[in-house]
Chains A and B, each alone.
Chain A
Amino acid sequence: MYEILHKKTLSEVNKLMVIAAPEVARKARAGQFVIVRIGEHGERIPLTVADYDREEGTITIIFQEVGKTTMHLGTLEQGDELATFVGPLGHPTEIENYGTVVCVGGGVGIAPLYPIARALKEAGNTVVSIIGARNKELLFWEDEMRTVSDELIVCTDDGSYGRKALVTAPLKELLEQRDGEIARVWAIGPAIMMKFCAATTEPFNVPTIVSLNTIMIDGTGMCGGCRVQLTDGAKFVCVDGPEFDAHQVDWDLLLARQRFYLEEEKQAVGRWQHQCRLEARG
């Protein structure tokens, strides 16, 4: 069992938890992920590593409540325990001194972006970061991102904070203004955002890395549910990724595969909310 040592509500739907997992913390690196299962009846879900502390033996996860499991997770408190916490899984980010890099984080994608941006900064890169969310409420870790970035651009879809724009707008401007200067782009967030970031950087021929979050069970290459179609063949996100060359990904197929259990997810959420209401009534 893995204890929740600390919980912080970042927004109504975004939660941060620090989990006691000393063995995982020993090895975790930026770009990797863990698989979490709440209890005996729980499903296994992948969550990216938002931070780690080897000395304290902890892993920080940040999640957005989008389905039954993340909603349930959000109701747990400090002192509660998770049944399963497997990791570190996937390949770590390839950190080098590339020169100038752009890190783009959308919504809950800011969480996995942070340790990558930090590692890139530590490796000597000039880091320009763009973070965005639908609205001010959903934005988090602006300060954290600022400390690991040479420049930080903040935007919201509705303009409630920072610039009113999708993250692709400042990304495109940067690519135009500093043509030939930007060595690499990382884009992490909802699949649709990553798809458009990929489309934005492609004409500029700037290598672009995305971190994919797909349906997954074991996280070790066993189920193949996470497979993604690249121009040079199918790959498994869990063992070949989670980071891939954004320009190679078949985004439409990826989006379709993510929707496969949509009906069941809706059913589970409905059932969960019903239970919560009954419990609240008492």
Chain B
Amino acid sequence: MAELTNRERLHIPRQAMPTQEPLVRRTNFDEVALGFTPELAQQEAERCLQCARPHCVEGCPVGVLIPQFIRALREGDMEGAVRTMKEKNNLPAICGRVCPQETQCEVRCVLAKKGEPVAIGRLERFVGDYELNYRTCPLERGEETGKRVAVVGSGPAGLTCAVDLGREGHQVTIFESLHAPGGVLVYGIPEFRMPKGVVHGEIDYAAECLGIKVHPDAVIGRLYTIDELLNGQGFDAVFLGTGAGLPTFLRIPGINYSGVLSANEFLTRVNLMKGYLFPEYDTPVKVGRRVAVIGAGNVAMDSARCSLRLQSLRVRETGEEPGEVHIVYRRSRVEVPARAEEVHHAEEEGVIFDFLTNPVEIYGDESGKVCGMRCIRMELGEPDESGRRRPIPIEGSEFDMDVDMVVMALGTRPNPLVFNEAGGLERTKWGTAVADRETGRTTKARVWAGGDVVTGAATVISAMGAGKRAAADIDRFLRGEIDPW
């Protein structure tokens, strides 16, 4: 194909991602977004203007060479596209699916000024999926250094850090507390948004190439302490990527009735334990007829959409009415923290949004089960410290909602277990590890940290960025170039 002019490129519309129809997908757990075909990917890649000073790259927490990989893609050089991608991003099939591109790379795309940005995320996913299928560009292990690193946690931060250190020739062991690696990617994010085959595919591929060992069932702080890893177990460095796994519950009456669940519990039952396949899988999961999900982040959207699907499965089995799923959020639509696409998908599937609404009490029946929820209407006042307008209760506006299940999706805090007997490892008043945001160095010698355990609940890609920066610093330390403590 002859090289297009920029004028011609500007006339190509942004290519839509083929997706399952809303009414179909709310009845199954298969992936919603089906991915670009090679033709769609080619067409979308043609839209990139190959800016000399690309702003998109500045928006990427791991600095993916965006114009270069897109150029290779449109020239039909898939191997080149994969190689370019993997220079900066070891897990493209994952990032392409869960990164908030609209606030990172795509928002900075020059095309976004007048129209729609290049669909960078969809192209990234296309490249990542291609590589999972064809394995054209195996990661290469650097020359053996003889140094050993313990990575605690196998979510986005830990995985990224482990892979980068493996590429530098260090021996990496990942300690994971659950029975399968992936962290929030496997226990939290549902199959329909992040197929577990993709996560395991990326992890297995990288671990095989780089000789990374994964030790499941290892709760650090109990099985081994950080001090034991550094001393008795002979690791030269430790990276903590333990995430933010502790759920938050509202402090209102009734939160311990049966049928009030943390989003963590609900999603773990559905995703990691495959509860939606009960009784073929042993872990049961219940869904109410009228479900209220409290909160409006990505985790809330995931919980609401899993609830819809479980209700549909029940309809298929019993023929009864599906019921309703509500998102109950104390602020308004503008402040919703979830990724735009997730909110859009949730609405398409039939989730009902109750904005400016806050629960004040959960009611239980005589058998201790949830049978209703008292809420109060809110209005927005002056901006608070987060910059968002503060929600204020409207006096006398209480009303009762008819619900039989309540899922709390109000954010999470770091798990304190890992800090057991880790002398010198300081924490903030929020329970997060004190660590330098650039290098990941903690207050304890030879210990780095990154991701949600440092920042509190944030995004997959910001955790990957932190894992990457820490890996670079750990590498310099292991090579004797620096000794920060």
A residues with a Cβ closer than 8 A to B are 23-24, 27, 37, 41-44, 68-69, 83-89, 217-225, 227-229, 234, 239, 250, 252-253, 255-257, 259-261, 264-265, 267-268, 271
Contact = CB atoms under 8 A, between A and B. Distances in A.
Contacts of A24: 223
Contacts of B178: 218
B268 A217 contact: yes
Interface in B427-480: none
- Chief secondary structure at chain A's binding surface: mixed
Contacts of A83: 179
Interface string B279-293: 111111010000000
A43 B273 CA distance: 7
A209 B439 CA distance: 46
Contacts of B245: 220-222
Contacts of A219: 219
Most chain-A CB neighbours within 10 Å: which of B218, B222, B245?
B222
Interface stretch (B2-10, B192-200, B252-260, B330-338): B252-260
Given A43-B282, A264-B278, A223 B368 contact: no
Contacts of A222: 187, 245-247, 264, 268, 415
A250 B187 CA distance: 30
Contacts of A257: 256, 258, 368
Nearest to A255: B368
B281 A89 contact: no
Given A218-B268, A221-B246, A89 B219 contact: yes
Interface string B236-272: 0000000001110100000111110110110011000
Contacts of B390: none
A191 to B, nearest CB: 13
- Chief secondary structure at chain B's binding surface: loop
A271 B224 CA distance: 39
Contact of A224 (B264, B280, B282, B286): B264
B219 A261 contact: no
B133 interface: no
A175 B287 CA distance: 46
Contacts of A239: 416-417
Contact of A234 (B255, B258, B265): B255
Contacts of B417: 220-221, 239
A229 B284 CA distance: 23
A227 B262 CA distance: 11
Contacts of A234: 249, 255-256
B27 interface: no
B84 interface: no
B204 interface: no
Given A44-B273, A268-B279, A224 B262 contact: yes
Given A69-B282, A220-B177, A23 B223 contact: yes
Contacts of B259: 260
B367 interface: yes
A86 to B, nearest CB: 4
Contacts of B88: none
Nearest to A69: B282
Interface in B163-220: 177-179, 187, 216-219
A166 B269 CA distance: 37
B86 interface: no
Nearest to B281: A41
15 contacts: A24-B223, A41-B280, A44-B283, A86-B179, A86-B219, A87-B223, A217-B273, A220-B245, A222-B415, A227-B249, A250-B256, A264-B278, A264-B279, A267-B279, A268-B279
A151 B33 CA distance: 67
A256 B368 contact: yes
Contacts of B415: 220-222
A264 B286 contact: yes
Contacts of A227: 249, 256
A7 to B, nearest CB: 21
B269 A86 contact: no
B258 A256 contact: yes
Contacts of A37: 179
Nearest to A267: B279
Contacts of A88: 222-223
A256 B217 contact: no
B445 to A, nearest CB: 24
B147 interface: no
B314 interface: no
Nearest to A229: B256
B280 A261 contact: no
